[in-house]
Amino acid sequence: MTNGHPLRLYNSLGRRIEDFIPSGAVTGMYSCGPTVYAYPHLGNMRPYVFADTVRRALRWKGIEVRHVVNITDVGHAVSDADTGDDKMEVAAARERRSVLEIAEFYTRVFFEDLAALNILPAAEYPRASAYVPQMIEFAAALENKGYTYRLPSGLYFDTAKDPRYGELAQLHAEGQREAARVEQVQGRQNKTDFALWRTEEPGRRRVLRWDSPWGWGTPGWHLECSVMSIALLGPHFDIHTGGIDHRELHHVNEIAQSEAFLADGKQWVRYWLHNEFLQLGGAKIAKSAGGAPRLADLTEAGYHPAAFRLFLLGGHYRSQLDFTASAMDAAQATLKRLVARIQPLRPLPAIETLEQAASKADPRTLDLIDAAISNDFNTPQLLAALQEALRDPVITPDGLRTVTAAADALLGLGLAALDPADLETSRAAEDLTDQQRHDIEQLLAERTQARKEHDWPRADQIREELDRIGVQVTDTPQGPAWQLR
Ligand code: AMP
Ligand code: ZN
């Protein structure tokens, strides 16, 4: 049995599609994890659904993966350019809780969201605060090699010492280097230089603090990922993932310091994969701004987490996606249709790999599924192949059962077990107050009147108003019926 189509992926390093060739028996994969200072918003979950898709694709091809996702519980300054207070300390002050409580609370929320989204657990979730001694050793080694300089505010990596600095972000020219998203730090020699260690200011004792050769303080954010990934995956590994914002700064700095540290003339990590952002009404969703929707908001509104996963997978990971209520409605409706269609096929066989699927699956569909996932993780194409197969009257039930299980091994929607009842979105109308019920009836009466008078714009306007408050109107021969979404 062959492994089907070659797995091809878009490597941010070089910005081109390449064949994925594992370097050893086990593929090491590192995904930059969350900073646990606030609730993860819906956009924050996109990188982990994407990383999960990568893992499922590798499993599909029979490639064993060791996946590491870090938890940033120290070191991430309010500005990504290392200036300002630590995000964790700011959150602790805001919520009047200890930094430890903040970290524990939001780490738990993150794990709950991962589980709800059916994301395969990583082998390790290292916490940055547990690796500070190794970070100090790493920074000291860079200092010994002459890659750094000291300022009163900390130890800095001198990016001018790295002739390939910024390759990932394609910041080749000196001029472009200046354009990097950085803020002024007094004494910094190049605008792109970054802190390996942030020494606390005299008289401003930090809550999180460690002693180091550069005084009491905290490690730089970029340092964490280099140190933890090398500690847990070895000096070189195959895949590093993160949101597209990391391609411009965080990963650029991880590469610079890791290659300086290893100094073996080899490329540190071979494949760099970045997901595009999820937009909210066209605007960037920022966790620090507060108020951004999170997974629990969706489930409270009656959506299934798998519907959010389906919504994400309905776009290619390298395309921006717009989060809207109607897109969520559409995703939940699609999921409902899929589950209804699959129900008579249950139980589905247990399948994880192409090889397991090969003997029983409808061959044409299986080839389409394999081609889609091998084509830079093209999940929209994969979904289309599944939907087409489910409409095809010629495929045998056994062939269909197997391709459905195969598709879901890659999509991770949990189709084998989803209960159609869990996908009912209607909130209970009994929960409405008398006033709310009265308002809805009033709007409906106005709409009926407008329709009688053939005032269609007014009728449409009222329908939209009802839609905004979650009321769905259906016109029946007996008059309008409504239900809550
Ligand atoms: P943070 O917890 O802020 O360190 O971010 C965790 C991950 O979420 C990083 O990989 C970010 O690149 C990613 N990220 C942040 N905002 C978004 C968004 N709106 N859409 C997709 N990914 C995001
Ligand atoms: Zn990182």
Residue pLDDT, tens place only, 4-55: 999 999 999 999 999 999 999 999 999 999 999 889 999 999 999 999 999 9
245 lines ligand 1 (CB under 6 A): yes
Distance of CA 336 from the midpoint of ligand 1 (Å) = 29
Give the whole-angstrom CA distance, residue 403 versus residue 390.
9
Around ion ligand 2, residues with a beta carbon closer than 5 Å are 32, 225
pTM (two decimals): 0.86
Give the whole-angstrom CA distance, residue 98 versus residue 88.
9
C-alpha dihedral sign at 353, 354, 356, 361: positive
47 lines ligand 1 (CB under 6 A): yes
User: Which residue's alpha carbon is at the smallest distance from atom 19 of ligand 1?
Assistant: 43
427 lines ligand 1 (CB under 6 A): no
Closest ligand 1 atom number to CA of residue 241? 10
pLDDT at 87 (0 to 100)? 84
Distance of CA 234 from the midpoint of ligand 2 (Å) = 16
pLDDT at 389 (0 to 100)? 98
Distance of CA 423 to the CA centre of its chain: 23
The answer to whether 312 touches 377, Cβ cutoff 8 Å, is: no
> Which three-class secondary structure string do you get for the chain?
CCCCCCCEEEECCCCEEEECCCCCCEEEEEECCCECCCCCCHHHHHHHHHHHHHHHHHHHCCCEEEEEECEECCCCECCCCCCCCEHHHHHHHHHCCCHHHHHHHHHHHHHHHHHHCCCCCCCECCEHHHHHHHHHHHHHHHHHCCCEEEECCEEEECHHHCCCCCCCCCCCCHHHHHCCCCCCCCCCCCCCCEEEEEECCCCCCCCCCECCCCCCEEECHHHHHHHHHHHHHCCCEEEEEEEHHHHCCHHHHHHHHHHHHHCCCCCCEEEEEEECCEEECCEECCCCCCCCCCHHHHHHCCCCHHHHHHHHHCCCCCCCEEECHHHHHHHHHHHHHHHHHHHHHCCCCCCCCHHHHHCCCCHHHHHHHHHHHHECCCHHHHHHHHHHHHHCCCCCHHHHHHHHHHHHHHHCCCCCCCCHHHHCCCCCHHHCCHHHHHHHHHHHHHHHHHHHCCCHHHHHHHHHHHHHCCEEEEEECCEEEEEEC
Closest ligand 1 atom number to CA of residue 279? 19
The tokens describing 22, both together, are 């594992």
Closest ligand 1 atom number to CA of residue 278? 20
User: Which residue's alpha carbon is at the smallest distance from atom 17 of ligand 1?
Assistant: 43
* CA nearest to 74, candidates 167, 200, 208, 203: 208
Distance of CA 45 from the midpoint of ligand 1 (Å) = 7
Q: Which DSSP category does 212 fall into?
A: -
Distance of CA 47 from the midpoint of ligand 1 (Å) = 7
Closest ligand 1 atom number to CA of residue 40? 2
Closest ligand 1 atom number to CA of residue 285? 19
pLDDT at 425 (0 to 100)? 67
* CA nearest to 258, candidates 196, 179, 170: 196
44 lines ligand 1 (CB under 6 A): yes
77 lines ligand 1 (CB under 6 A): no
Closest ligand 1 atom number to CA of residue 244? 12
Distance of CA 254 from the midpoint of ligand 2 (Å) = 7
Best mutation site among 44, 107, 280 for ligand 1, i.e. most ligand atoms within 8 A of its Cβ?
44
35 lines ligand 1 (CB under 6 A): yes
287 lines ligand 1 (CB under 6 A): yes
Q: Taking the chain (485 residues) in consecutive chunks of 10 residues, what is each chunk's mean pLDDT?
A: 88 98 97 93 96 98 98 78 75 84 93 98 97 98 98 96 93 52 75 94 86 96 96 98 96 98 97 95 52 87 95 98 91 95 96 97 98 98 98 96 98 94 68 73 88 88 77 75 74
Give the whole-angstrom CA distance, residue 55 versus residue 67.
8
